[in-house]
């Protein structure tokens, strides 16, 4: 017997309809490439989004056509999120920090027919305009009077003209919820980027889960600032969760330095933010340097790379900002686990609680996970044994865009490429990416633990630990370190800092001090570059 409840497709447009109807006066604030602060409401957002959707349809683009963006976090990008998907087209947010060849590769692979871009990226678009094969229209996301006077870009349209060319009498089509809504590419640290095609249904289910209290905990009384870019896995779903919950949205545009972020936090009463550790390091340096305090900020989501315990401690103890550690991937829309306490942690000491928070957290309902050994046998959740982390769920990729089959799955589970432990309370802790594990004399050493210890040293700004070739042990850990400005620190002093914190044989063999550590397009350490440079370091110095 079937249930007898209404059947309504799970569509992204329904989020915007909800925000307009029930939170119409809530604000969306953006720092613009024009340099000023733009402010409007969900009512304005919904109206302009309908105009834009109508304009996109009028461009004569068919259903399911891909439309690319190269843009910062801002209200126009938000309008594109909803207009393109809501109208039955697919939004492909491209990471503008990628090399021009990779941007071209993605635009071609996605077969984008339109490319919207912020003026910051004019030089990038000029450099690829004659190379991208399928783009018919380029649209500058700017007012008419600020359009570039001369440019080599053919068919250049103005975003504001395009939007103003239509009225807002547009009804969102009742799409099938399985239809594609957005397309994101993995950052392609090795090999070409791969496309992950999210459906309306997977996006909506992910949004419900992301907003939950033990998840990102979003509500109508929040002012949310996604530092994580809208080109990095849909800003971790916050543009959707904000509409679902009626939260105020604050978009930082290109101002991702500590000073600009802090100013916006304070002027807009931001209560919650989300981003990768490298961004938070910049913010902490700024507030620490000037002795500033946050007046409204209550919590921050940190993910994308492991949150170093020293950063966690600084936010929690020095600034009263609660850290929500989260783990995910492009292939997971991105949320997999979030670190929220259980009741039994409430009475624990701050140190014990921070030890819990340093883990990547518990599975969010909708994603199941397990760890397995190299034979594929499931390992116990004892917090001791580490294995390959596999996941499955409503918003986990089943196959990559334009790739045949689901051959990469293992018995229906997606192999994440991460190595992790899971404890008896269900908290997962990433020890490494499988390709970054240090294999020393047949034993595995997790690089993240070693980095976290180095990062807790007061003179260390940033640390990465890589596998260096070793004549006796095959590989041994090598630390690559950037010191804080003006800090004096020797190799011996830093290695002595490991005493008592870790098994003696895990201690890195050597330290290389450098001025900078290479970061990829999503702010993660490019370990393969460090390996190319330093993998023979121990052989040389032996
Ligand atoms: P890419 O894999 O192309 O770099 P993603 O942004 O999808 O792009 O990265 C996902 C990976 O990032 C995960 O597989 C994991 O290795 C790492 N990651 C994400 N969040 C965390 C975290 N909180 N702690 C440790 N690693 C993380």
CATH classification at residue 109? 3.40.50.12780
Neighbours of 35 (CB within 10 A): 9
Domain that holds residue 378: 366-433
Distance between CA 360 and CA 364 in Å, rounded?
11
- Domain-located, residue 171: yes
Q: Which of 311, 430, 432, 465 gets mutated to test ligand 1 (max ligand atoms within 8 A of its CB)?
A: 430
Q: Which of 252, 257, 251 is nearest to 239 (CA)?
A: 251
Q: Identify the band that residue 189 occupies on the pLDDT scale cut at 50, 70 and 90.
A: low
Of 184, 216, 248, the position where a domain reaches its end is 216
From the alpha carbon of 334, which atom of ligand 1 is closest?
7
| CB of 330 sitting under 6 A from ligand 1 | yes
**Does 452 contact ligand 1 (Cβ within 6 A)?**
no
Give, for ligand 1, the residue of 305, 307, 451 to mutate: max count of ligand atoms closer than 8 Å to Cβ: 305
Q: Following DSSP, what letter does each residue of 337-398 receive, concatenated? A: EE----GGGTTS-HHHHHHHHTS-BEEPTTEEEEEE-TTSPBPP-SSS--EEEEEEETTS-S
Rama region for 408: left / alpha / beta (φ>0; ψ in -120 to 50; rest) = alpha
Q: Does the Cβ of 418 fall within 6 Å of ligand 1?
A: yes
| Residue 304 CB less than 6 A away from ligand 1 | yes
Q: Where are the beta strands (DSSP E) in 240-365?
A: 248-251, 272-275, 299-302, 322-328, 335-338, 362-363
Strand stretches in 193-269, DSSP E? 195-199, 223-226, 248-251
Boundary-marking domain end, from 179, 198, 216: 216
> pLDDT (tens digit, 9 = 90+) per residue, 531-540?
999 999 999 8
CB 457 within 8 A of CB 497: yes
Of the candidates 14, 435, 418, which has an alpha carbon nearest to the alpha carbon of residue 190? Answer: 435
- How far away, in angstroms, is 331 Cα from ligand 1 center? 10
Whether residue 444 lies in the annotated active site: yes
pLDDT of residue 462: 94
Q: What is the mean pLDDT of residues 161-176?
A: 98
Catalytic residue, candidates 12, 182, 186, 431:
186
Q: Whose CA is nearest to atom 11 of ligand 1?
A: 329
pTM: 0.94
Residues 6+ apart with CB under 8 A from 342: 425
CA-nearest residue for atom 10, ligand 1, is 329
Ligand 1, closest atom to CA 417?
A: 14
Whole-number Å distance, alpha carbon 167 to ligand 1 midpoint, is: 42
User: CB of 98 closer than 6 A to ligand 1?
Assistant: no
Cα distance between residue 247 and residue 221, in whole Å: 6
Structural domain includes residue 443: yes
151 and 185 assigned to the same domain: yes
Domain identity same for 383 and 497: no
Segment 333-366, tens digit of pLDDT: 999 999 999 999 999 999 999 999 999 999 999 9
Does 408 share its domain with 443?
no
Based on the fold, state whether residues 449 and 530 are members of the same structural domain: yes
333 lines ligand 1 (CB under 6 A): no
**Are 486 and 421 part of one and the same domain?**
no
pLDDT tens-digit series, residues 51-108: 999 999 999 999 999 999 999 999 999 999 999 999 999 999 999 999 999 999 999 9
- Asked if 271 is an active-site residue, the reply is no
Q: For position 492, what pLDDT does the model report?
A: 96
Confirm whether 72 is a catalytic residue: no
Q: Give the domain CATH number at 393.
A: 2.30.38.10
| Nearest-atom index, ligand 1, CA of 433 | 16
Q: What's the number of CA atoms in the CB half-sphere (13 Å) around residue 25?
A: 0
Q: For residue range 282-318, what is the model confidence (pLDDT) as tens digits?
A: 999 999 999 999 999 999 999 999 999 999 999 999 9
Mean pLDDT in the chain?
A: 95
Other CB atoms within a 10 A radius of the CB of residue 426 amount to 13
Residue 534 lies in a domain: yes
Answer yes or no: is the C-beta of 327 below 6 A from any ligand 1 atom. Answer: yes
Q: Which of 355, 377, 253 is nearest to 307 (CA)?
A: 355
pLDDT at 188: 66
Q: Which 8-state DSSP code applies to residue 314?
A: I
Q: 264-279 pLDDT, tens per residue?
A: 999 999 999 999 999 9
User: Is 76 part of a structural domain of the chain?
Assistant: yes
CA–CA separation, 400 and 197 (whole Å): 7
Q: For 372-428, how does the pLDDT look when each residue is reduced to its tens digit (9 = 90+)?
A: 999 999 999 999 999 999 999 999 999 999 998 887 899 999 999 999 999 999 999
The predicted structure's pLDDT at residue 175 = 98
Say whether both 85 and 151 belong to one domain.
yes
CATH number of the domain at 505, please: 3.30.300.30
Q: How far apart are CA 26 and CA 43, in angstroms?
A: 8
Model pLDDT, residue 423: 98
The pLDDT of residue 200 is: 98
Residue where one domain finishes, among candidates 216, 231, 253: 216
Instruction: Read off the pLDDT of residues 136-167 as tens digits, 9 standing for 90 and up.
Output: 999 999 999 999 988 899 989 999 999 999 99
The pLDDT of residue 151 is 86
Q: Is the pLDDT of residue 190 over 70?
A: no
pLDDT at 434 exceeding the cut of 80:
yes
Domain total of the chain: 3
> How many Å lie between the centroid of ligand 1 and the Cα of residue 520?
12
**Residue to probe by mutation, ligand 1, list 234, 301, 304, 418, most atoms within 8 Å of CB:** 304
Smallest Cα–Cα separation from 90: which of 109, 110, 71?
A: 110
Question: Which residue, chain included where needed, has tokens 């802090």?
Answer: 262
CA atoms within 13 A on the CB side of 436: 27
Same domain, 165 and 71: yes
Say if residues 302 and 314 touch (Cβ distance below 8 Å).
Answer: no
Do 51 and 185 share a domain, yes or no? yes
Q: What is the mean pLDDT of residues 320-340?
A: 98
Residue 38: predicted pLDDT: 98
Question: Is the CB of residue 361 below 6 angstroms from any atom belonging to ligand 1?
Answer: no
> Using a 6 Å cutoff on CB, does residue 189 contact ligand 1?
yes
Q: Which entry of 79, 160, 268, 331 is annotated as an active-site residue? A: 331
122 and 20 together in one domain? yes
């Amino acid at each position: 017997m079937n249930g007898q409840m209404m059947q309504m497709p799970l569509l992204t447009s329904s989020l915007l309809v909800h925000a307009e109807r029930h939170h119409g006066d809530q604000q969306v604030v953006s720092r613009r490439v024009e340099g000023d602060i733009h402010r409007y409401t969900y009512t304005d957002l919904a109206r302009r989004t309908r105009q834009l959707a109508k304009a996109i349809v009028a461009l004569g683009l068919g259903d399911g056509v891909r439309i690319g963006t190269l843009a910062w976090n801002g209200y126009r990008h938000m309008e594109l999120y909803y207009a393109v998907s809501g109208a039955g087209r697919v939004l492909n947010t491209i990471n503008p920090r990628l090399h021009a060849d990779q941007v071209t590769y993605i635009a071609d692979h996605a077969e984008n027919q339109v490319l919207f871009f912020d003026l910051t990226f004019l030089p990038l678009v000029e450099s690829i305009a004659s190379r991208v094969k399928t783009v018919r229209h380029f649209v500058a996301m700017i007012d008419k009077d600020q359009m570039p006077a001369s440019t080599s870009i053919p068919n250049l349209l103005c975003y504001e003209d395009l939007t103003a060319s239509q009225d807002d009498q547009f009804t969102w089509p009742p799409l099938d919820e399985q239809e594609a809504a957005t397309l994101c590419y993995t950052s392609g640290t090795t090999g070409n980027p791969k496309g992950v095609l999210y459906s309306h249904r997977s996006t909506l289910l992910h949004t419900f889960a992301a907003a939950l209290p033990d998840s990102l905990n979003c509500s109508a009384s929040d002012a949310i600032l996604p530092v994580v870019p809208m080109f990095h896995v849909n800003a971790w779903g916050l543009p959707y969760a904000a509409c679902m919950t009626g939260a105020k949205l604050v978009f930082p545009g290109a101002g991702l330095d500590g000073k600009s972020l802090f100013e916006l936090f304070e002027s807009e009463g931001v209560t919650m933010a989300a981003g990768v550790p490298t961004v938070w390091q910049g913010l902490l340096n700024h507030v620490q340097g000037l002795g500033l305090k946050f007046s409204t900020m209550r919590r921050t989501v940190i993910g994308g790379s492991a949150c170093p315990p020293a950063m966690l401690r600084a936010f929690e103890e020095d600034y009263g900002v609660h850290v929500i550690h989260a783990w995910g991937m492009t292939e997971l829309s991105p949320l997999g686990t979030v670190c929220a306490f259980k009741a039994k942690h409430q009475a624990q000491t701050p140190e014990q609680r921070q030890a819990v928070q340093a883990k990547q957290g518990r599975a969010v309902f909708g994603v199941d996970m397990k760890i397995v050994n190299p034979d594929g046998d499931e390992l116990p959740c004892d917090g001791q044994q580490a294995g390959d982390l596999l996941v499955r769920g409503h918003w986990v990729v089943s196959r990559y865009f334009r790739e045949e089959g689901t051959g990469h799955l293992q018995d229906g589970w997606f192999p994440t490429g991460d190595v992790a432990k899971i404890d008896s309370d269900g908290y997962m802790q990433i020890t490494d990416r499988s390709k970054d594990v240090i294999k020393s004399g047949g034993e595995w050493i997790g690089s993240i633990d070693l980095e976290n210890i180095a990062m807790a040293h007061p003179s260390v700004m940033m640390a990465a630990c890589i596998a260096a070739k070793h004549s006796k042990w095959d590989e041994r850990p090598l630390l690559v370190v950037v010191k804080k400005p003006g800090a004096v620190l020797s190799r011996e002093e830093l290695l002595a800092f490991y005493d008592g914190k870790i098994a003696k044989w895990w201690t890195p063999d050597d330290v290389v001090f450098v001025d900078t550590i290479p970061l990829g397009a999503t702010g993660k350490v490019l370990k393969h570059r460090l390996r190319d440079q330093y993998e023979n370091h121990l052989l040389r110095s032996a």
